[in-house]
Amino acid sequence: MPRYALRIEYNGGPFRGWQRQRALPTVQGAVETALRRLEPDIPGIGAAGRTDTGVHALGQVAHCDLVRDWAPFRLMEALNFHLKAEPVAVTACAHAADDWHARFSATHRRYLFRMLVRRAPASLESGLVWQVRRDLDVDAMRAGAAHLVGHHDFTTFRSTVCQAKSPVKTLDMLEIEEARGLSGHELRFHLKARSFLHNQVRSIVGTLERVGVGAWHPDDVHAALDARDRAACGPVCPPQGLYLAEVGYPQDPFAGA
């Protein structure tokens, strides 16, 4: 059976996360329903990561096996036709090797978190950003973030229901970008690692917000990390500002797609 790589964009607001669940709307369920309009007996698809309820994606990656040998462009067009009622789009499609796996072949994931800092309601960006109404000390937030880059035990910043075998991860990048425009002051958090723990990004951003408003000193982030205790974490921020932005592979499966 030919294997295909799919790059998928979605608004996670209407969904109960990526992973298929009985009787609940999920992104995986929507994509598999579209695929079964093309081939009713396809097996389930695999994905690079399982995003939570309300989390979005710019570059989720999945793979599927089909009986028919589709031209990738035609497969992408057919899937998008059947997905048109959902806030989901296949933005690239390519043939993949039989042993290529969207999750296990990946070398890194990159997440984007968008935080809008302004008093007025977020009318156009509602559901797409986390709105914070107090001014933030971005330099202090960057100083706090610096403590988290590198190889650490991230027990403090993982969910109590996280199923990862180890809390030890290497955070390769944590950068805070500022953007100012008519919509207000936006902070964009860019985080990159081979893999992430459950709720790790939202725990980190929620903690750094505490630094930004002056409730925490930047060095408190280091103390929280060293505590290796979930109770030492700041509040977990809401999901609507979080995007799975990119999944990296030794060779880009979509090069030339």
Question: How do residues 144-186 score in pLDDT, each as one tens digit?
Answer: 999 999 999 999 999 999 989 999 999 999 999 999 877 789 9
Among 240, 162, 232, smallest CA distance to 196 is for 162
pLDDT tens string, the chain, 257 residues long: the values are 899 999 999 999 999 999 999 889 999 999 999 999 999 988 889 999 999 999 999 999 999 999 999 999 999 999 999 999 999 999 999 999 999 999 999 999 999 999 999 999 999 999 999 999 999 999 999 999 999 999 999 999 999 999 899 999 999 999 999 998 777 899 999 999 999 999 999 999 999 999 999 999 999 999 999 999 999 999 999 999 999 999 999 999 999 76
Distance CA 11, CA 175 (A): 23
Q: 27-38 and 72-82 helices cross at what angle (nearest 10)?
A: 120
Q: Note down the domain range covering 187.
A: 108-245
Instruction: Specify whether 229 is catalytic.
Output: no
Entry pTM? 0.95
* Same-domain status, 177 and 63: no
pLDDT of residue 1: 84
Q: Cβ distance 211 to 218 under 8 Å?
A: yes
Sign of the Cα torsion 144, 248, 101, 85 reads: positive
Note whether 197 and 154 are within 8 A (CB). Answer: yes
What pLDDT is attached to residue 257?
A: 67
Do 129 and 217 sit in the same domain of this protein? yes
254 located within any domain: no
Domain termination site, one of 55, 84, 105 = 105
Q: Structural domain tally of the chain?
A: 2
Q: Pick the last residue of a domain from 88, 105, 122.
A: 105
Write the CATH number for 119: 3.30.70.660
pLDDT at 182: 75
pLDDT of residue 42: 87
State the CATH number of the domain containing residue 17: 3.30.70.580
* SS3 at position 244: strand
- Out of 52, 65, 137, 220, pick the active-site residue: 52
Structure tokens that stand for 117 in this block: 């800092």
Q: Are residues 128 and 227 in the same domain?
A: yes
Give dist(CA 157, CA 199) in Å, integer. Answer: 7
Q: How many CB atoms lie within 10 A of CB 133?
A: 10
Which residues, 6 or more positions from 74, have their beta carbon under 8 angstroms from its beta carbon? none
Asked if 64 contacts 2 with a C-beta cutoff of 8 angstroms, the reply is no
Sign, CA dihedral 208-211-216-219, equals: positive
Question: Distance between CA 22 and CA 206 in Å, rounded?
Answer: 31
**Residue of 167, 134, 172 whose CA lies nearest to 233:** 167
Residue showing tokens 């698809």: 45
